[in-house]
Structure 1
């Protein structure tokens, strides 16, 4: 074997290993971390008037799409707008509240229903846990059931397990108090939802 080829054979696996991302730190919270998380949740519990913007990717294991989004929350009323050429150039607008939901942007015309998640599932084949996601994007445990949370070396949530979903917190904006997530990946096989949050505005 020539020296150059032998070098590549030995060096390439080392190079690939060096380029691989380091595994996320995840540890069970101690009393202090759990208390800090509870304090964060209490501080943000009443944060129900905000605008969030960023990038979204959704996959069902077979189909998927991505684009830019804006999410406006005004109490129990919400408006979620998704734009992007990666989704056949279509813009979708999901809005509603306790009285029902409206999905616009479909070729067949707008559709209404009592449940936003059911509308997304029926029209697009996407399983998106919108009720829980409203809490998860703030880095909070949803009130829908038991949750198991692990923490990173920044003492903020790294992994949240709830309702059969695994929610990974890849990045945080620690310049805010309380800190807010900027990259949130939620998965429940075969579904995946990836949020890259570029801006938060609270009212």
Structure 2
């Protein structure tokens, strides 16, 4: 009886390991690899050091309940603190500013109303109807995974970052800006997808505030 039990346990263990291997070896999108290029560690380290910057561009949100676009008048990042100014006619948002750090946000609407919360994503959705992963976006916009949570990186055949999968989101990169100096290329357009939600950021200008 014991030998039968051990054989059954061994078969279950093999089946379990096989299942895990199947998940890890799921087919990759055509032309992509999860093997980082030789310079990725150095490149990502320099991107993490690039934490004092400003950008401008456009934001587009599409979700089942509604869709809309906004001009990013400025997005200023100083370490973990951000200052984001948007202009949009969507849902009467007008000029909206968001200032915050991880775990806290202050949102000021065009009518002067001010909202503060320890849950930035929930406040953004309550005030505007948009579901934006703001704190993760501050990392994804530089071509980095957010520090919290598991992630998977996919690269194209040129060794350029093509996709980040994290928090149920799939972040795609298809255009890049090259700044002067030692800073690696920065995204010019990213598209973040989750279920039926899509967030697209098109960056028209990057600026290193340390220069």
> Please, what TM-score do these two structures have when normalized by structure 2?
0.76
Return 5+ residue gaps in structure 2 as ranges: 1-28
- Indicate whether 1:178 and 2:181 are aligned: no
- Indicate whether 1:50 and 2:53 are aligned: yes
CA deviations over 1:34-83 (Å, ceiling 9, x no partner): x4222211111122211011011012222121121021111222111111
Match of 2:199 in 1: 193
**SS of residue paired to 2:198:** strand
Conserved 8 A contact 1:99-1:114:
yes
Trace 1:54-93 onto structure 2 (pairs within 5 A): 54-69=57-72, 70-86=74-90, 88=92, 90-93=94-97
Return 5+ residue gaps in structure 1 as ranges: 1-23
Q: CA deviation at 1:98?
A: 4.8
State the alpha-carbon separation in 2 of the partners of residues 180 and 77 from structure 1.
19
Aligned residue among 25, 33, 39 for 1:28: 33
- Against the structure 1 CA distance between its residues 112 and 30, is the aligned structure 2 distance closer, same or farther, given a 3 Å change threshold? closer
Q: CA deviation at 1:103?
A: 0.8
State the alpha-carbon separation in 1 of the partners of residues 96 and 151 from structure 2.
31
- Against the structure 1 CA distance between its residues 169 and 188, is the aligned structure 2 distance closer, same or farther, given a 3 Å change threshold? same
State the alpha-carbon separation in 2 of the partners of residues 78 and 64 from structure 1.
24
Match of 1:17 in 2: none
- The number of aligned residues is 178
Q: Decide which structure has the larger Cα Rg and report it.
A: 2
State the alpha-carbon separation in 2 of the partners of residues 171 and 185 from structure 1.
11
> Please, what TM-score do these two structures have when normalized by structure 1?
0.79
State the alpha-carbon separation in 2 of the partners of residues 200 and 189 from structure 1.
30
Conserved 8 A contact 2:93-2:110:
no
CA RMSD of aligned residues (A): 2.2
State the alpha-carbon separation in 1 of the partners of residues 89 and 126 from structure 2.
21
- Against the structure 1 CA distance between its residues 25 and 126, is the aligned structure 2 distance closer, same or farther, given a 3 Å change threshold? same
- Indicate whether 1:128 and 2:132 are aligned: yes
- Against the structure 1 CA distance between its residues 108 and 174, is the aligned structure 2 distance closer, same or farther, given a 3 Å change threshold? closer
Match of 2:5 in 1: none
Conserved 8 A contact 2:33-2:157:
no
State the alpha-carbon separation in 2 of the partners of residues 108 and 175 from structure 1.
36
- Against the structure 1 CA distance between its residues 113 and 30, is the aligned structure 2 distance closer, same or farther, given a 3 Å change threshold? closer
